[in-house]
Amino acid sequence: MSWDLVGARMRGEEPLPPLDIMRYPYEVCDVFYSDPETRSFLRSGRSYDLIVLDGAFPECAMGVVYRMKLPFIFINTVGFYTMAFSNSGSPTPYSVTPFFGKAFTDSMNIVDRALNFAWHAIAYTAHGVSMMVLQGVLRKHFGPQIPHVYDTTKNVSFILQNGHYSVTYPRPYLPNVAEVACIHCKDAKRLSPDLEEWISGAGNAGFVYVSMGSSVRTSSMPLSVHRMFVEALGRLPHRVLWKQDAEQNMTDIPSNIRLYKWLPQQDLLGHPKIKAFVTHGGLLSMFETVYHGVPIITIPVFCDHDANAAKAEVDGYAKKLELRQLTSDKLYKAITEVINEPRYKIEVNKRQVLLRDQKETPLERAVYWTEYVIRHKGAYHLQSPAKDLNYFQYYMIDVAVILIIVMLVVFAISSYALRFLFKKLVGYVLNKELSMNSNSFLKRSKILMDTATMSKKEL
């Protein structure tokens, strides 16, 4: 990704315009099916047992599913992204299901729930418009008889969900969903001699690890942000390992900071001398930090980072910072707080125990269910009839609640407006009547005074 995600966040802008988000799926899809290698693959007649797809934007690949007539499963990589399993029938009530792109949690007040519903509704509407165009792309390449992408995705046999209640949220999944989060987690290995020697030189002070992940290109970050980080990190009594994807034009790097283009993240998180992890809040990093028991400072940038960071802060093992208000002093204080306050380490260790206490590894679970689908040539018997409901039927309760809220708000505003107008009207009538009475009284008084004057003159 070449976008300046950090700079856009600091300016309060969306790093990717909504219209681009809507057009990329069908434009990429057209390019994909126009590619000679794709065409050759689809004509090859090779035999397969299963198709594995990413649960985020899998609709273009429904052309492959249609052509090959095979069962398919999703690996839903974004843990808070709900469309993949809500389309297949798993309940996702908006009252407790945070929108993946915002900092809501599952404990929302009535205003947050209304806003959360609005974000979900906007996303579904925009997605639906984009899919209408994508459907035309599929008809162009596979003929007019190809089913609608939503009808095809509802037939997913199984979903491997990148979530776990210790880090994400407990959810009421149907039998065709299994959580396999931390499938990539592993125990720390020994570091290279160079890294180990430098970390050991920190003594009991230990070290802090800084990485903004793979989606945030540090080479695209504003230089002012780099300097802000350098000022904060340079004040720490700890040594700092900072992952950068390219060398920056900075010559005044403090002696306690080392920059690397790549670092073995899990080996560092599992090192006994690590004190804290400064991260963007990507989901894989969140699982790794809990798996290894390291408290974190999160600086959300894009996509699901806000939702991940909000959940970690609620769970008590993270300090969340906002880029738009970030200063070197705030960053420095946040890091020292997370390191020196025992509660952050205590809470992350509690989550670590919960994450590791599983009857089998996530990898074993994923392998079992993948082979299960292959053995039974699909897992349609695990599907729920809820998948055949349309959007309004499926979310009838949520829609009804929102409509009731809107009606109550309209009623309250109308009642207030009517009371206000009635009060004004009554005040106007009373003032008018008083004015008329006053004028009549003045006229009668004047007549009496004139009569008395004339009588006095005659006397």
In sequence order, the β-bridge partners of residue 75 are 54, 160
Domain 5-183+361-394 belongs to what topology? Rossmann fold (3.40.50)
Q: Which segments of 143-192 does DSSP mark as H helices, in order?
A: 149-153
Distance between CA 290 and CA 182 in Å, rounded? 10
Q: For the segment 26-68, what is each residue's pLDDT rounded down to a tens digit?
A: 999 999 999 999 999 999 988 899 999 998 889 999 999 999 9
- In words, the CATH class of domain 193-356 is alpha beta
Give the whole-angstrom CA distance, residue 352 versus residue 401. 37
The predicted pLDDT at position 81 comes to 82
- Residue from 38, 156, 34, 11 nearest 90 by CA: 156
Measure the CA–CA gap between 96 and 264, rounded to whole angstroms. Answer: 36
Amino acid letter at 371? Answer: E
Cα–Cα distance measured from residue 48 to residue 62, given in angstroms and rounded to the nearest whole number: 16
What mean pLDDT do residues 428-432 have? 65
Site of tokens 């299963």: 50
Confidence at residue 429, expressed as pLDDT on a 0 to 100 scale: 63
Q: Name the band, by pLDDT with cuts 50, 70 and 90, for residue 213.
A: confident
What are the tens digits of pLDDT across the range 391-412? 666 666 566 666 777 777 777 7
- Cβ neighbour number for residue 244 with a 10 Å cutoff: 19
pLDDT band at 288 (very low <50, low <70, confident <90, very high): very high
Task: Output the DSSP codes for 324-370.
Answer: GG--HHHHHHHHHHHHH-HHHHHHHHHHHHHHH--SS-HHHHHHHHH
Please give the Cα distance from 335 to 316 (Å, whole number). 14
d(CA 322, CA 128): 32
Higher pLDDT, 349 or 245: 349
Answer whether 0.85 is exceeded by the pTM.
Answer: no
Confidence band, pLDDT 50/70/90 cuts, at residue 454? low
Tokens standing for residue 126: 């925009």
Give the CA dihedral 193, 197, 198, 203, nearest 10 degrees: 150
Cβ–Cβ < 8 Å for 241, 207: yes
pLDDT in tens, 305-345: 889 999 999 999 999 999 888 899 999 999 999 999 999 99
